[in-house]
A = this chain, B = another copy of it.
Amino acid sequence: VLAAAHELLVAGGVEALTMRRLASRLDVAPNALYSHVVSKTQLLDDLLDDLLSQVDTPPAEAEDPVAALAALMTSTYAVLTAHPSLVPLYLARQGARGANAVRLGERMDALLTRAGVPDRGVPEARRVLIVHTIGFAAFSTGANPADGSAAPVAAEEAGRNFARGLQWVLAGIVQDAGASR
């Protein structure tokens, strides 16, 4: 069921995923879906958390926690941009809060702590990193650049922008961590 929903999504984008179309693709009456899914919202939440399972999560004990954080965010960015049709859904929910999302958040916290960020500053740093990553994924998958330029931004250029901004953010985080030590 989730698989069929995902197929519909990649084929036609967010607006193509309706319960009725999903049902017809499964050769079934529209209401039959409600034997497998509690609501469309729930279906979308499941879809989103499923995607997050593809993120490559570095171990919490990585030698270089900052590099591991960069890898984690970059992998998240890659997974999101590889599934452009899901990114708008992500934004609409302001990030998922399924099991995988929680797991990723905890891993980030562990790495931030090992990078020297004091406990008080961990949620803050985590949020800035998440906002940067999801925001940039939205930016690079969107048809319309948000900056008023005429041409859409090329995927690889967006990726480079993401990486550069990520370095800035990480540098700020570790610098603050050093200052408070």
Contacts and interface: CB of A to CB of B under 8 A. Distances in A.
Interface of A: 88, 91-97, 101-102, 104-106, 123-124, 126-128, 130-132, 134-136, 138-139, 142-149, 153, 160-161, 164-165, 167-169, 171-173, 175-176
Nearest to A91: B91
18 contacts: A91-B92, A94-B142, A94-B145, A95-B142, A97-B145, A104-B148, A124-B160, A127-B136, A128-B132, A128-B161, A128-B168, A134-B146, A135-B138, A165-B169, A167-B172, A168-B176, A171-B172, A171-B175
Given A91-B91, A172-B167, A172-B169, A101 B136 contact: no
* SS of A interface (majority): helix
Contacts of A97: 144-146, 148
Nearest to A128: B165
A57 to B, nearest CB: 14
Contacts of A126: 147
A132 B130 contact: no
Contact of A172 (B106, B148, B172): B172
Given A93-B142, A94-B146, 7 more contacts: A95-B144, A95-B146, A101-B148, A105-B148, A127-B145, A131-B146, A135-B135
B106 A144 contact: no
Contact of A127 (B128, B134, B146): B146
